[in-house]
Amino acid sequence: MESKTLHFLSQLAENNNREWFQQNRKDYDAAKADLEKLVAYLIEEVGKFQDLGNLQVKECIFRINRDIRFSKNKAPYKNNLSAGIGPGGKGSGRIDYYLQIQPGNKTFLGGGMWETTPEQLARFRQEIDYNADELKQIIHDKDFRAYYPNIEGEALKTTPKGYAKDHPEIELLKQKQLFFSHNYTDKEVTSKDFGKMVVQGISLLKPFTDYMNYVIYEQPAEP
């Protein structure tokens, strides 16, 4: 990524209003083009080890405009650029690889269970109750843990209904969300190898997202 992209986002954070944005529209267009170039590279490289179909760059990039209808924060724009990379793009509804570019060493790559329905969460817990070993082997792999050291996401403070307090996998069962992320410094983001870093992060995250997509979306429900 270009350093001027991070500079634009820093300036936007300090001037988050429509008038300033329109006056600096050319800088935004340049920053968006910079992201599009990176996403095109990621699609090409990730496509070498995962079938992305005929995924297009425009299907991956999120709008910079915020939905302020139900928010107390009325700033019209996000302070970041972001993309969702996976089969079907950002609108697939499935778990993909989410990349957010944000200055201040806040850029990150992540993925996992985020906004699930009660049925999807029940599927996840049913699988953990039945056999947690496959997931644990993935997330406790030494290379995975080195890149994604911490389980993230909201968890219940009490035992989920239908499960024993002393269940051996009670901590996983309590998770309402389950995702992993890796942060990059601004220096890494603006380095010539940033794209390669993200591809490496995606390759490490793939077994986890494959597992979660199967459990939540593909696994046949038990009668």
So what's the pLDDT on residue 221?
57
Does 177 reside within a domain?
A: yes
So what's the pLDDT on residue 70?
82
Does 74 reside within a domain?
A: yes
So what's the pLDDT on residue 220?
64
Does 43 reside within a domain?
A: yes
Does 99 reside within a domain?
A: yes
- What is the tally of structural domains in the chain? 1
So what's the pLDDT on residue 222?
57
DSSP the chain: --HHHHHHHHHHHHS-SHHHHHHTHHHHHHHHHHHHHHHHHHHHHHTTTS---S--GGGTBPPSB---TT-S---SB-SSEEEEESTTGGGSSS--EEEEE-TTTTEEEEEEE-S--HHHHHHHHHHHHH--HHHHHHHT-HHHHHHS-S-BS-B-SSPPTTS-TT-TTHHHHTBS-EEEEEEE-HHHHTSTTHHHHHHHHHHHHHHHHHHHHIIIIISPPP-
Does 210 reside within a domain?
A: yes
Does 223 reside within a domain?
A: no
- Domain that includes residue 160, residue range: 3-218
So what's the pLDDT on residue 71?
84
Does 71 reside within a domain?
A: yes
Low-confidence ranges of the chain (pLDDT < 50): 223
So what's the pLDDT on residue 218?
82
